[in-house]
Every structure is written in structure tokens, then in C-alpha cells.
Structure 1
Amino acid sequence: MSPTPSVKIVKSSDGTPIYAEAIGNPANPSVVLVHGMTLSAATFDLLFNDQRLVDQLYLVRYDLRGHGRSGKPTNIENYASALFADDFAAVAREFNLTKPVQVGWSYGATIATDICANIDPIPISGVVYLGALPYISNPMPNVGTPLISSFLPGLCSTDNVALSLRTKIDFVDSLFVDPESVPLTFKSAWIGQSVFQPPEITMLVLSRPQDPTKFLEAGKKGLPMLVLNGTDDKQVVGELVAKEMKPHFPDMEVKFVKGGSHALFYDFPDEFAEALLAFVHRVVKNADMVRRRNVFGNSRISTWLQSVYKCGSRKST
């Protein structure tokens, strides 16, 4: 049985409250889970109860601004890229995280762009693109299916309640391989999360400006990425995500789960957990090797400088 999560309400730089939770041993490699559009961190309940993950990782999740239990400001200025980065930084400080791996599911993948654009040095050690929308830009990366595009008018409708609610139900259904087999209480909880976000907030969340330049530069400098997608994802075409990112991320792994859905961690929990753990452990191992190499190199330089100093001292006497 998993321990009880630690719950925090942190204040971002503009005063917006951000709901966050953590579970596991803080000494383990840390992973920050970022949820998808209109939903909340509660979609990751299954992961917080997966003993494999809790035993090996320190899991942190939070509700994005405009979502779930976090604040929902109503001005576009409060959805600036820098503020999304500040939200992440506030959560990381609260839980004392050092270079976590960021897992972005669907819309949650856009947060890596905010982080890299606004925080220097970059405070993450790797990125997992899980059924990812890479970033919000003009033009947008063409990775979505026609189905997800068809949902946008209903999700953003402020004058047609019936359309809005019907779209939220259809949107949640599209996350799963077989929505009819998902327990009603479970699916209703996810629909309820979506209802928490008013349509006018959905419009702000989807129209906020982002600049992916520094994120793509980070990839070229070696930021590791895992593109993880189901082959039957009804919202995102994983092959297009991989094609979009490959020129910028030389250290990129691509894994497709046959028959997998957009909610891959629900329909294929074993495949998801195995891929996540393998990637995190690889990233941590490589970071440790670089750290040891730097320490060894600095030690050799220090020893050399000391010998030069001693030699110079003998000559002067």
C-alpha cells in the first residue's frame, strides 16, 4: 500500500495558488508529472498508487494554473509563459527537487518549453513527451488528429452549455482505447475535472503565447527526451511528434505501444511504467557520470596547479 501523499498549496510569483502533491522517497530520482488540457493532477492517481514507481521514484504532481484545484485567473496576462515556468519552479522549491525529469502528458508537454524559455540554468534533467502537444506557437506543430481539432469549438464555447458538456464527455471518452469498458465512477471523475475549467479559461490556456527557441536549443545541447505514444492514440499522432522533435533532440528515444491510447498510463500501465523507469534511470546514470567526470577533471587541474605552485615556490627560494 502506497503512503499518503504530501499535499502543498504553493504561491506562484503573481500570487496564484498552485495545488501540488508528492509521494515516495525524496532520496530517489524525482519526476514531475504534468497533466493534460482541462484535467488535473488527479488523473495521475493510478501512478501515485503504483508501487513500482513509488518504490523507485519521488513523484510530484501539480494542477496547472487554470486547472483543477489551482487558481484560475481570468486575464491573458496571467497565462504568460514565464508564469507557467514560475509555477513549476515554486513546486520544485517546495519539494526540494534538483533537476527532476519532467513528464508532460498531452498539453502538459508544453510546460517544458516554458521552463527552458524562462529559467537559466535549465532545472530539468530530461523530458518525457507522453502523447504530447510539443508547444503552442504560430504555426502550431501539426501533431493532432482531426478528432481533437473537432473538440476545440465545444471546449471553448461560452454560449452553448449543451455543446460544452457534450464535448467534455466526448473528449474524455477519446482518451481511452475502449471508453465503454472504463468504470463509470472513474470516467465520471475525469469528466468532473474537465468541468472544473470554464470555457473562457480553456480559451486562455490554448491561446497563450510561447517561444520554443530555447527549448529546441536545449535539445541540441543534449537535453534527453523520451517520446512515448500509443499507436491507437485518438488525439495525437506519435510519429508526427517524433518527426517534429528529431532534428532538435539528438538524445531522443521513441517508444510506441501497440494498441496504446492517449491515456497510455491507464490502458497500458506496465508498458508505461517500464518505459518511464528505464528512461529516468538512464538519465540519472548519465548525469552521475558527467558529474564524476567533472569532479575528477577539476581534481586533476587542482593537483596540477598545486604542483606548479610548489615548483615555483622552490625556484623562488
Structure 2
Amino acid sequence: MPSNAPAPRVGEVQKVLRSSDGTEIFARAVGRSDNPSLVFVHGFAFSGMVWDELFKDKNLLREFYLVSYDMRGHGRSGKPKREKDHASRLYADDFAAVVKAFNLKSPILIGWSLGGTVACDICAYLPKAISGIVYVAGFPYTGPVMNTIATPKILGMLPGFYSTDDVVYSATTKIEFIDINLKDPSNTPVSIKWAWLGGTVMQGPADSLLVVSRVQDPEKLHQAGLAGLPLLLINASADKLIQGDAVEKTVKPYFKDLEVHTVEGGSHVMFYDDQEEFVQVLRRFARRVYSRKLPGSKL
């Protein structure tokens, strides 16, 4: 490293950024900033707190710079209330603000559940901004396809998130939502469950409806896949929210470079319940993507 180059950041850094429309976006990063970067996007109603245990993983931190942010309408980020405030371009701008703030170089995007849809926004408005995509039980984009990918269980629960006149219904829906994400909720530390539940409470009914019903166009995502953008699907055989085979069927015609891994017996939060296996699969994919992108890389 040249003597006049800035020293790499080490340890966790938190920032509140401003997107192009002024919406605040909460983001954080951990690890060495000179490592190849992985950007993690959480799922519906949650926040970046779901990655807390993963962001302590020594194997990941040894090789990668880990970044996460709360999507607009979620967690500690802003929650604009108009439909136009959830345009696809603005979600791309949110990602661009994170990339700029942490000086990232064409990171890999890891999108869990609804967080997977952000890749579609990026491909539509920020061509070649990412080196690869990982769908972690992820939706590739919003629209009618969500009804074929989501399980009847979670589709039936959505009205509880939108309810404005029944506090008990809303609260019990969110409590049950936490449980169905997990492999064994009765043996999951209450500190984890309550932290995740707290994240869902930060999202109001109007926010929930806006983030699920926003409009996306998958054309540029499909073009990127056909042009060779690498995609890894990490599914779980006991997922109660997402049907992994339906995700694979949806994306397979459009991604020339497609890997699929199923965590046997895994839950919707397999990155938490089966962290060791998840990390192993993610590291292998990221190493391949970055070594192909950077000839001579030691990854």
C-alpha cells in the first residue's frame, strides 16, 4: 500500500446518509475497508439488525468488508409515505449512497427475502454497479411473481401488517411472523426474538403496504443475468415463507451463471440458524466472483 494511501477502516462504522430525495438511510460497515465488499440487505419489516451475528463471523471478516443498510420504510431509515417515494430509482439511489459513503468497489449484493428485490433496482439504474447477486430465500422483484414465490402462510399474514384498526391483530401477527422465520423459536434467545420484533414495530401499516406493493421492471435484471452477472440462490428446505424451487424457476431462464444451494432443514433465516453452512457457501461464491473479476487475486 502506498505510504500516502488512507489507512483501511477496521471495526464497525455507523452512518446516517441522505439519499437523492433527502430520505435518511441508516448504514453500517464492519471489517477492513480494503477487503472486497459484501452489501447485505434485510427482508420485509426487519432491519439490518438481523445480520448482527453474521457480522461477527471471523471467517467472513478475514476476507471481506461487510456492509448493511436499512431499506427505506424500515428500521432506522426514513419512512416516506407517498407511493412515488418508493420508486425503483430511489431504491437504487439509496444503494448508491451507501456505496459512495463507504467507498465500495462493485460489491456483491446479498439480499434476504424482500431485500433481494434491490438487485432489480440496481440493475435498472446503476449498470455494472455490482459484481454478483446472492438471493437468500429472496424475491427477485416485486409484482405478481411474489404470489407464486411466497407461501400461502405468509400471504395470509400480510393483512395483519396493513391493519390500522386492530392493535391486537397487528401485534400478534408480528409476533407469529418472528416465530415462523426461525427453525426452533422456542429455543431461540429471547434477546434475538425481541430485537427482531422491535424492528418490525418500527414499520407502520402504511410503510408495510408501500414497500411490498412498489413497482419494478425486471428487464434490466434479466439482461444483466443473460450477460453473465453471477447469481447464487441460497434456499432452505424447511422455509415457511419462501418456496425456493419457485425462485429458481423464475430466475433460471435469465441467469447464465447460476448456482443453487439448499440448506437441508433450514429456516427462512438460515443465515442465523445454520450460520456455519451459510458462511461457507457465501465465501466460496464470493471468492469465485472476486477472483474472476480481479486476476491475480489471492481470494
Q: Same fold (TM over 0.5)?
A: yes
User: In structure 2, how many angstroms separate the alpha carbons of the residues matched to 1:27 and 1:236?
Assistant: 35
CA deviations over 1:196-228 (Å, ceiling 9, x no partner): 000111001111111011001100000000000
Alignment partner, residue 282 of structure 1 = 288
- 1:137 CA drift (Å): 2.2
Q: Secondary structure at the match of 1:185?
A: helix
Q: Distance in 2 between matches of 1:269 and 1:136?
A: 27
**Equivalence for 2:12:** 5
Q: Do 1:126 and 1:224's aligned partners in 2 also have CA atoms closer than 8 Å?
A: yes
Letter of the 2:19 counterpart = S
Match of 1:301 in 2: none
Corresponding residue number in structure 1 for 2:178 = 172
Q: CA deviation at 1:68?
A: 0.5
CA distance in 2, matches of 1:105, 1:246: 18
Find the counterpart in structure 2 of residue 47 from structure 1. Answer: 54
1:26 aligns with 2:56: no
| Secondary structure, aligned partner of 1:82 | helix
Q: Which residue of 2 aligns with 1:253?
A: 259
The corresponding residue for 2:238 is 232
Q: Secondary structure at the match of 1:134?
A: coil
Kindly provide the amino acid, as one letter, of the partner of residue 8 in structure 1: K
Which of structures 1 and 2 has the bigger CA Rg?
Answer: 1
Q: Which consecutive residues of structure 1, in runs of 5 or more, have no partner in the other structure?
A: 292-317
Q: Within 2, Cα distance between the matches of 1:132 and 1:24? A: 25
- Residue 122 of structure 1 deviates from its aligned partner by 2.2
Report the equivalent of 2:87.
80
Find the aligned partners of 1:105 and 1:43 in 2 and give their Cα distance.
10
Structure 1: 4+ residue segments shifted above 6 A = none
In the aligned structure 2, how far is the partner of 1:52 from the partner of 1:62?
A: 21
- When residues 238 and 65 of structure 1 are mapped into structure 2, their CA distance, relative to the original with a 3 A threshold, is same
Shift of 1:288: 1.9
CA contact (8 A) 2:153 2:240 kept: yes
Query: More displaced, 83-92 or 240-249?
Result: 240-249
- TM-score where L is the length of structure 1: 0.89
Tell me if the contact between 1:46 and 1:266 (Cα under 8 Å) persists in the aligned partners.
Answer: yes
**Deviation, structure 1 residue 141:** 6.0
Please name the residue that 1:157 is paired with: 163
Distance in 2, matches of 1:206 and 1:144, equals 12
Distance in structure 1 (CA, Å) of the matches to 2:29 and 2:113: 21
Q: Report the secondary structure of 1:281's partner residue.
A: helix
Equivalent position to 1:189, from 175, 178, 195: 195
Q: Deviations over 1:113-150 (max 9, x none)?
A: 0101111x320000000011111124546111111111
TM-align CA RMSD: 1.4
Deviations 1:162-194 (A, max 9, x none): 111111011111111111111112101111110
Name the SS of the counterpart of 1:98 in structure 2.
coil
SS of 1:164's partner is: helix
Q: May I ask how many residue pairs the two structures share in their alignment? A: 288
- Give 3-state SS (helix, strand or coil) of 1:166's partner: helix
Partner Cα separation in structure 2 for residue 151 and residue 204 of structure 1 = 16
User: What letter is aligned with 1:180?
Assistant: S
- Residue 71 of structure 1: SS of its match in structure 2? coil
Q: Deviations over 1:48-102 (max 9, x none)?
A: 1111111110000001001100111111111110000000000000000011000
Question: 1:203 is matched with which residue?
Answer: 209
8 Å contact from structure 2 (residues 124, 220) kept in 1 = yes
User: What is the distance in 1 between the residues matched to 2:208 and 2:246?
Assistant: 24
- Partner-residue secondary structure (3-state), 1:253: strand
8 Å CA contact 1:141–1:244 kept in 2: the answer is no
Q: Distance in 1 between matches of 2:189 and 2:58?
A: 22
Taking the aligned partners of 2:97 and 2:254, their CA distance within structure 1 comes to 28
